[in-house]
Amino acid sequence: MSKAPAVKSGTAKTKAASAAAPAKSAAAKPSARAKSSADSSSRPLERRQRVQSAETGMTVLKGLARLGGRASLTALAAHVDESPAKVHRYLMSLIAEGLVDQEVATQQYHLGLEALFVGVAAMRQADPLRISEPALIRLRESLAVTCFIAVMGNKGPTIVRFEEPGLPITVNVRVGSVLSMLWSATGRAFLGALDEAPVQEMALAELAAATPDMRALLDETDPIGALRRDVRKAGCATVKDTNLRGISAVSAPLYDHTGRPCAVLTALGATGGFDVSPGGRVVAAVKKEAQAVSAALGYVAD
């Protein structure tokens, strides 16, 4: 009789322990969920921080390139508007990746071998025709004019890409057409931008064969030199009823990464509705597109 209460007491303790275990487990689960939720919320923050770090690193790298590929820490920090200490940390990471190097004698930073590989790969893809195609489309759509790209061939400026608006004007030039050096805006743009002897010889040959009326359209004392100076000063060439009667045109040179004119962008239209004035809409649009294409080809203006 005395043992029965002991058995009941043990059973009661066991049941109490069993009941307490699920309660303890249940109490632990919210803590695990809270930890998981905290981890999930921290991951986007970490990703944003990594993206921001990458952006800052690229800003430092691009800043070094904009400064000619070589600069002191102070100059680079001022250029990217960051503290020298912060820029130095990113430079160390870029040096570790081979994108930047430091000259021991001057302590200046310069673009490294890996940056050279990236630049060479980009230059191989810098095809003037491919890169200028969007510019042709924009000019055609925004101005409703005929536009084209020309390169310097062995016979003169040669059209290699041609775009027409929905209501094109009638002109007797197409892909493959060779244009005049003196009387077309395209030729004048090449004449003003290129210092090569063959280009000057083509211009002199045209001048010698020109009629008195055509020669009267040029400067009497220095016809070719005056054309070159006008193009360089304006950044573009314009003609009105010279190469094609009733047709006016605006042309601007495209420059590659070496600073050499590699092509010319031209827009043309019927003289009656085509403004070739220096402050006009057409001149501004052609120059803007030419500058954008040149930048995409790696050209850095002085």
Distances (CA, A) of 29 to 16, 51, 131, 174, 248: 21, 34, 59, 77, 80
Looking at this protein, which amino acid is placed at residue 155? K
Please state, in angstroms and rounded to a whole number, the distance separating the CA atoms of residues 208 and 86. 64
Query: What φ, ψ does residue 237 adopt, rounded to 5°?
Result: -125, 145
Give me the pLDDT at residue 50, please: 64
246 and 273 Cβ atoms separated by less than 8 Å: no
The segments of the chain whose pLDDT lies below 50 read 1-28
Cβ burial of 277 (10 Å; 0-12, 13-18, 19+) is: exposed
Query: How is residue 31 written in tokens?
Result: 């803590």
Which residues sit opposite 239 in a β-bridge? 249
Positions of CATH 1.10.10.10 in the chain: 13-121
Q: Which CATH number fits domain 126-296: 3.40.50.10490, 3.30.450.40, 3.40.50.10440, 3.40.1360.10?
A: 3.30.450.40
Distances (CA, A) of 153 to 34, 150, 263: 72, 9, 10
Angular region, 28: left φ>0, alpha ψ -120 to 50, beta rest: alpha
Give me the pLDDT at residue 234, please: 93
Positions of CATH 3.30.450.40 in the chain: 126-296
Give me the pLDDT at residue 110, please: 93
* The domain over range 13-121 is classified in CATH as 1.10.10.10: yes
